[in-house]
C-alpha cells in the first residue's frame, strides 16, 4: 500500500468526522459554549440515529475537548490506549471505544459518552460534562484562569451558575461544584447573593443517594444541602423559610433526605449559636443525629481553617458547653455516632486547642472497651486535655487520673509482638505530656513509654 492509500489514523478520522458535522451546522465552532447546541442536536435526533451520525457527534465532542487543551490532549486508538492503561484494557474492545481521547493521564470515550446521552437523557449532558472533563484532567490553572477582580468574578462566576440554574440536573450540580473551586468562599457568597437562587431547585436533590468510592465518590444530596447552606450564609435566600423547609424534612420517610436535611439544619443552627443545636440533637433520631454531628464536624473544620496562620479571621466555637453535652452523649451512643464524636473531640483539643473536661470520662470508657482505632483517637483527645491543663485553660480532675492509668495499660509491651503499635505510641506521647504537667506517671509506665518511643524512633 502506498502513502496515498494508507488508512487514516484515529486522529485524522475524528478530525474529519468533526469537520463534517460542522459543515452541516455552522453554529458549532468547537467552543465549550457550542456543546449546548450539540446537546440539543443529540436530544432531538439521537433516538434511532444511524451509527455514522453517532460517531460524528462523538468526534465533534472529543475534538472540542482536544482543542481546549491542544498541548495536553490527543486521540489514541483502542490498542494504543490499552497498552498505556490497564483500566482501558480491562474494558475490552468495542465500537464505542475505538477512538480514545487522552488528556494528560486521563482517558475519555467521546462516542460512548454520546451514546450515554442518547440513552439517559439530560442527566448525561454533554454541555455539562465538557468542562468537568477538563477540570478532572488538567491542573486548575490550565482548566480555568484564576479570578483577579470582583468584576471578573461577577461576569465569569455568574456564567458558571447558569448551566445548573437553567437545567438543575445531577451532572450540572457536579459541574457547578467543580467550576467554583478556584474561587474563594467570599466570592462564592457574593455570586450567590447576585444570583438569588430559588431554594426549590435544590430540595428535590436532597434524597439522591451517594455513589462511587474514593476520589470518584459523589454525594449529590449532601452537595445540594451544602449549596443551600452557602445561600443561607450569604443571605441569598429567605433564611427563615429555608430553615423551616429543612426542619420539615427531618421526619421524611427517606433516610437519605432526612440525613441531608439534618446536615443543613445543623449548619444553620450552629451559625446561630443560641442553644438550638443541642435541642435539635436531643429530639432527633439516629440518622439525623449523625448528620448533625457531621454538620458540627464541618463547622469545626471551617474554624480550623480560619484560625490557622494566614486564615481569614479568628473564629470561636460558639456555645462550647452545648457542643460538649452533645459529644458526651454521642460518645456513649451507636458505633457511628461514637466514631464521629471521637474525631471531633480530637480536633477540638488538637487543632483548636480547646479544653474538653466533660468528655474525659466517656473517652476513658472508649479506652477500656473499644478497638485499637477508636482507642488511639480517644488517647489523642485526652492528651489534648492534658495539654489544656498545662496551658492553664483547665484544672486537673479525677477522670484524668483514671486516664493516666489507662495510658499506662496501653503502653505496655504486647506479649509475642515486637512491633510498636499506634495505640502504644499514642499512649507513650500522652504519658510524656502527663509527666511534664504533673509527674503523676508511675515508674513502670514511664519506662514502658520511653521504650515504646525508642522502638518507634528506630523503625521510622
In a domain, 119, yes or no: yes
Q: What's the rounded Cα separation, in Å, for the pair 121 and 39?
A: 10
Residue 102 belongs to domain spanning: 3-143
265 closest CA partner among 251, 244, 286, 235: 244
Cβ atoms of residues 64 and 130 within 8 Å: yes
289 closest CA partner among 244, 248, 335, 243: 335
Q: What's the rounded Cα separation, in Å, for the pair 290 and 280?
A: 12
Q: What are phi and psi of 178, to 5 degrees?
A: -75, -30
Residue 173 cell numbers, joined: 450540580
pTM for the full predicted model = 0.67
Residue 388 half-sphere exposure toward CB, CA atoms < 13 A: 25
Give 293's contacts (C-beta < 8 A, 6+ positions apart): 266, 326, 330, 337, 340, 341, 344
Residue 232 cell numbers, joined: 443561607
pLDDT of 339 reads 94
pLDDT of 134 reads 74
Q: Is 355 helix (H, G, I), strand (E, B) or coil?
A: coil
Q: How many helices (H) and strands (E) does the chain have?
A: 24, 3
In a domain, 62, yes or no: yes
Q: What's the rounded Cα separation, in Å, for the pair 175 and 170?
A: 9
Q: C-alpha distances in angstroms, 329 versus 39, 317, 338?
A: 52, 19, 9
In a domain, 112, yes or no: yes
Q: Is 398 helix (H, G, I), strand (E, B) or coil?
A: helix
In a domain, 356, yes or no: no
- Cα dihedral 434, 439, 444, 446, rounded to 10, equals 50
Q: What's the rounded Cα separation, in Å, for the pair 264 and 226?
A: 7
Residue 233 half-sphere exposure toward CB, CA atoms < 13 A: 22
Q: C-alpha distances in angstroms, 256 versus 137, 225, 253, 295, 310?
A: 31, 11, 9, 15, 37
In a domain, 66, yes or no: yes
Q: Is 107 helix (H, G, I), strand (E, B) or coil?
A: strand
In a domain, 48, yes or no: yes
In a domain, 267, yes or no: no
Q: What are phi and psi of 50, to 5 degrees?
A: -65, 155
pLDDT of 198 reads 86
Give 398's contacts (C-beta < 8 A, 6+ positions apart): none
In a domain, 170, yes or no: no
Cβ atoms of residues 56 and 64 within 8 Å: no
Q: What angle do CA 201, 204, 207 make, to 5 degrees?
A: 145
Digit-by-digit pLDDT tens for the chain (460 residues) are: 455 566 789 999 999 999 999 999 989 999 888 888 998 999 999 999 999 999 999 999 999 999 988 888 999 999 999 899 887 877 777 777 889 999 888 888 999 999 988 987 876 778 877 877 776 666 644 555 444 455 555 565 666 677 777 778 787 787 777 666 556 666 777 777 777 788 888 999 999 998 877 666 788 999 999 999 988 988 888 899 999 999 999 999 999 999 999 999 999 999 876 678 999 999 999 999 999 999 999 988 888 776 554 444 434 556 678 889 999 999 999 999 999 999 999 999 988 888 999 999 999 999 998 788 999 999 999 999 999 999 999 999 999 999 999 999 999 887 777 778 899 999 999 999 998 877 778 888 888 888 888 877 644 3
- Sort strands 106-108 and 73-77 into parallel, antiparallel or unpaired: unpaired
Residue 213 cell numbers, joined: 468510592
pLDDT of 263 reads 97
- Number of structural domains found in the chain: 1
Cβ atoms of residues 455 and 412 within 8 Å: no
Amino acid at each position: 500500500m502506498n502513502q496515498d492509500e494508507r488508512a487514516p489514523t484515529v486522529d485524522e478520522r475524528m478530525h474529519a468526522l468533526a469537520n463534517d458535522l460542522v459543515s452541516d451546522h455552522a453554529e458549532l465552532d468547537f467552543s465549550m459554549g457550542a456543546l449546548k447546541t450539540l446537546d440539543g442536536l443529540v436530544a432531538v435526533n439521537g433516538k434511532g440515529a444511524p451509527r455514522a451520525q453517532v460517531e460524528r457527534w462523538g468526534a465533534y465532542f472529543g475534538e472540542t475537548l482536544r482543542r481546549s487543551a491542544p498541548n495536553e490532549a490527543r486521540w489514541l486508538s483502542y490498542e494504543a490506549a490499552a497498552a498505556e492503561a490497564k483500566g482501558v484494557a480491562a474494558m475490552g474492545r468495542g465500537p464505542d471505544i475505538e477512538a480514545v481521547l487522552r488528556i494528560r493521564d486521563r482517558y475519555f470515550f467521546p462516542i460512548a459518552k454520546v451514546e450515554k446521552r442518547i440513552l439517559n437523557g439530560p442527566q448525561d449532558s454533554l454541555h455539562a460534562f465538557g468542562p468537568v472533563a477538563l477540570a478532572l484532567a488538567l491542573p486548575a490553572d490550565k482548566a480555568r484562569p484564576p479570578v483577579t477582580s470582583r468584576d471578573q468574578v461577577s461576569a465569569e462566576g455568574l456564567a458558571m451558575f447558569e448551566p445548573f440554574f437553567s437545567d438543575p440536573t445531577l451532572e450540572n450540580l457536579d459541574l457547578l461544584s467543580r467550576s467554583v473551586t478556584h474561587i474563594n468562599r467570599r466570592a462564592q457568597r457574593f455570586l450567590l447573593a447576585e444570583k438569588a437562587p430559588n431554594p426549590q431547585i435544590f430540595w428535590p436533590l436532597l434524597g439522591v443517594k451517594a455513589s462511587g468510592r474514593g476520589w470518584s465518590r459523589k454525594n449529590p444530596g449532601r452537595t445540594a444541602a451544602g449549596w443551600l447552606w452557602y445561600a443561607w450564609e450569604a443571605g441569598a435566600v429567605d433564611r427563615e423559610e429555608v430553615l423551616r423547609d429543612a426542619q420539615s424534612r427531618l421526619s421524611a420517610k427517606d433516610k437519605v433526605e432526612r440525613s441531608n436535611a439534618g446536615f443543613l439544619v445543623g449548619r444553620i443552627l450552629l451559625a446561630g449559636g443560641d442553644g438550638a443545636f443541642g435541642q435539635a440533637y436531643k429530639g432527633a433520631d439516629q440518622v439525623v443525629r449523625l448528620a448533625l454531628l457531621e454538620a458540627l464536624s464541618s463547622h469545626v473544620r471551617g474554624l480550623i481553617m480560619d484560625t490557622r496562620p494566614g486564615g481569614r479571621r479568628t473564629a470561636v466555637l460558639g456555645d462550647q458547653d452545648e457542643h460538649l453535652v452533645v459529644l458526651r452523649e454521642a460518645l456513649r451512643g451507636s458505633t457511628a455516632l461514637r466514631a464521629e464524636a471521637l474525631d471531633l473531640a480530637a480536633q477540638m483539643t488538637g487543632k483548636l486547642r480547646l479544653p474538653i473536661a466533660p468528655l474525659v470520662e466517656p473517652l476513658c470508657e472508649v479506652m477500656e472497651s473499644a478497638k485499637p482505632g477508636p482507642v488511639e483517637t480517644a488517647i489523642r483527645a485526652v492528651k489534648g486535655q492534658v495539654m489544656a491543663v498545662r496551658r492553664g485553660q483547665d484544672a486537673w480532675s479525677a477522670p484524668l487520673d483514671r486516664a493516666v492509668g489507662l495510658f499506662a495499660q496501653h503502653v505496655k509491651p504486647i506479649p509475642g509482638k515486637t512491633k510498636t503499635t499506634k495505640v502504644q505510641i499514642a499512649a507513650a506521647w500522652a504519658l510524656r505530656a502527663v509527666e511534664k504537667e504533673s509527674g503523676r506517671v508511675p515508674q513502670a509506665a514511664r519506662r514502658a513509654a520511653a521504650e515504646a518511643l525508642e522502638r518507634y524512633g528506630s523503625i521510622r
